[in-house]
A and B are shown apart, each in its own frame.
Chain A
Amino acid sequence: MAKRVAIVGTGQTFHKSHRPDVNGQELINEAVVKALADANLKMKDIDAIVIGNMDHFEGINYVDCWSVDGSGGTMKPIIKLTTGGTTGCTVAIGGYHLVGSGMFDKVLVIGWEKNSESDTTGAITTAFDPVWDRQVFAGAISGLAAEAQAYIARYGATDRDGARVSVRDRKHAMNNPYAQLRKEVTLEEVLASPMLADPIHLLDVCPRSDGACAVIMASEDTAEKICPKPDWIWATAARHTYSYLGDADFGRLTSMKEGSQELWKKAGIKEPRKEVDVIELYQPYSFGGLIWIEDMGIVGPGEAPRYIWDGNTDMGGELPINPSGGVIATNPIGATGLIRCAEAAMQVMGKAEGRQVPDVNFAFSSGFGGCFWTDMILHGKKKPK
């Protein structure tokens, strides 16, 4: 019935805090041109486009129409998907559904953001309930800080445990020429950086970036003709759990737990820690790198700090996490989830160059939103059964 779907090409911009040299359409175009070149396809080969960003940031609502000069979408079926922080992963899931349906053979998926063009915290605040959530709200960081406090209280973790995750991701970013922040830091530097919202220090969190990413998906009818070793999409899952921020089970990420259980079941994964080879996690702050891998079932509740201190998630470890440097190094919000998807695809395709993990059979990528949503994709080298 449904077609199997593979990623056959990826492209991303060099991400910066500010790209005054290009407008939004031009930024999008950079990623699209690179993805087409990677797949050795022309724009005429593309049957449909899925595009997304978090439209609060640029104040442009009809991004699907507005962007056509850059996206190549003139006179093609094009749809905008926007789900806040999860957008980049949502557009990938949307592309997967379009190709899987059999109605479109090759779909171009685009995520982008120019965070430099507005006030990030102000824009994020407008995504939350005006009556019940906004009075005390302080952008994405306040909810994350409350999550970290609850995790620390529940499991006895420390700010050093969080800092260790940040040290890892910032070190990994040194291998990624596309990353915005490429500077190694020490544990002491993280802990000595300004406290933004207890227990989160400045160096525990992501920057805001300008950047775009594009991914081309093709059905099983043509994928292997376009790309000899495509990245097969094995399964996807999405959980958007929020009504009001105070509904969350702080200290656990319910959306990650329920979504990943669905993902592992769909793909027949019994022991994710042993069967998954690399993870590109939408992890905008360090403590998420502890809490969320427990919710994924990589390790048990409260076990992440030990697992990470032992180097298991470093390059060369049992299960490297964020070889790209992840979100802590680069965060063009609407593109961020799709960059995770593209980086995971590159790992499976063997195209990750200086950040390549050897022999990747399964890779995991995710998207996260400040209202505690999670979207996710399981990527595989073998064609799904």
Chain B
Amino acid sequence: MAEKEHIIIESGDAIQPFAYTVGMYGSKFFAELRDNGRIMAVRCPKCKKVYIPPRKVCGECFVEMNDWVEVGPKGVIGTFTILRFAFIDPETGAQKPVPYGYGFIKFDGADTLFQHYISVEDEKKIKIGARVEPVFSKNPTGSMRDIEYFKVID
């Protein structure tokens, strides 16, 4: 009943017409992840910070970065939360499967955090500092979903 009061704009079966470019650095990251299961980051020649996701410029030093380093694939939970409220994922139009673990993963050797799912099978184990490793997809395509999720390993 209440819905009748609203103007709803629908797009039918149309998909969102976005085609994002990740650039040479993002492409290298996804190619290495897909082909070799390696996690690649990039180090600033000036401040030595190791960035993931890799990017061309260190914003703070404003210098170009070309020094590629392999990090992980193991790491620790830098910080996290467990999402418990239901909401629609605008990327898919589907409801996110709650509860789910949202991890900011600090790969061994990296200085910034990488966002991904953490398995919440045993919630007690999910703590800042807990060791984790990625569970890779069996059918990698060169996307973030080539890692299915991270799991606590100790």
Contacts and interface: CB of A to CB of B under 8 A. Distances in A.
A20 interface: yes
Interface in B58-114: 59, 78-85, 87-91, 96, 100, 102-104, 112-114
A95 to B, nearest CB: 28
Interface residues of B, number: 40
Given A125-B90, A135-B91, A142-B83, A153 B128 contact: yes
Interface of A: 20, 59, 119, 121-123, 125-126, 130-139, 141-142, 145-147, 149-150, 153, 194-198, 200, 243-248, 250-251
B121 to A, nearest CB: 16
A146 B80 contact: yes
Given A246-B115, A250-B78, A138 B91 contact: no
A90 to B, nearest CB: 20
A130 B18 contact: yes
B79 A135 contact: no
Contacts of A139: 87
A142 B87 CA distance: 12
Contacts of A119: 88, 90
Given A122-B87, A136-B117, A195-B84, 11 more contacts: A122-B88, A132-B115, A136-B102, A138-B87, A146-B79, A149-B81, A153-B127, A198-B84, A246-B114, A247-B112, A251-B79
A247 B51 CA distance: 8
Contacts of A59: 9
Contact of A122 (B18, B90, B145): B90
B84 A196 contact: yes
B122 to A, nearest CB: 14
For the complex of A and B, the 6 pairs showing the least CB-CB separation, nearest first, are: A145-B81, A246-B113, A122-B90, A150-B79, A153-B128, A250-B79
A147 B55 CA distance: 24
Contacts of A121: 87-88
Nearest to A139: B87
B130 to A, nearest CB: 11
Nearest to B126: A198
Contacts of B78: 150, 246, 250
Contacts of B83: 138, 142, 196-197
A189 to B, nearest CB: 18
Nearest to A149: B79
B42 interface: no
A131 B22 contact: yes
Contacts of B37: none
A244 B88 CA distance: 22
Contacts of A133: 115
A196 B85 CA distance: 5
A122 B96 CA distance: 11
A126 B90 contact: yes
Contacts of B117: 135-136
A196 B82 CA distance: 8
A138 B20 contact: no
B28 interface: no
A243 B55 contact: yes
Contacts of B127: 153
A198 B112 contact: no
Given A130-B18, A131-B20, A138-B102, A125 B80 contact: no
A197 B85 contact: yes
Contact of B102 (A122, A130, A131, A142): A142
B114 to A, nearest CB: 6
Interface string B138-153: 0000001100000000
B124 to A, nearest CB: 12
A194 B116 contact: no
A145 B18 CA distance: 29
Interface in B5-60: 5, 9, 18, 20, 22, 26, 51-53, 55, 59
Contacts of B80: 146, 149
A246 B112 contact: yes
Contacts of A245: 104, 115
A146 B81 contact: yes
A136 B116 contact: yes
B84 A135 contact: no
Given A197-B84, A250-B104, A134 B91 contact: yes
Contacts of B51: 247
A126 B90 CA distance: 8
A135 B144 contact: yes
A208 to B, nearest CB: 13
A147 B102 contact: no
Given A135-B145, A251-B79, A243 B102 contact: no
A376 B51 CA distance: 29
B100 to A, nearest CB: 8
A28 B59 CA distance: 37
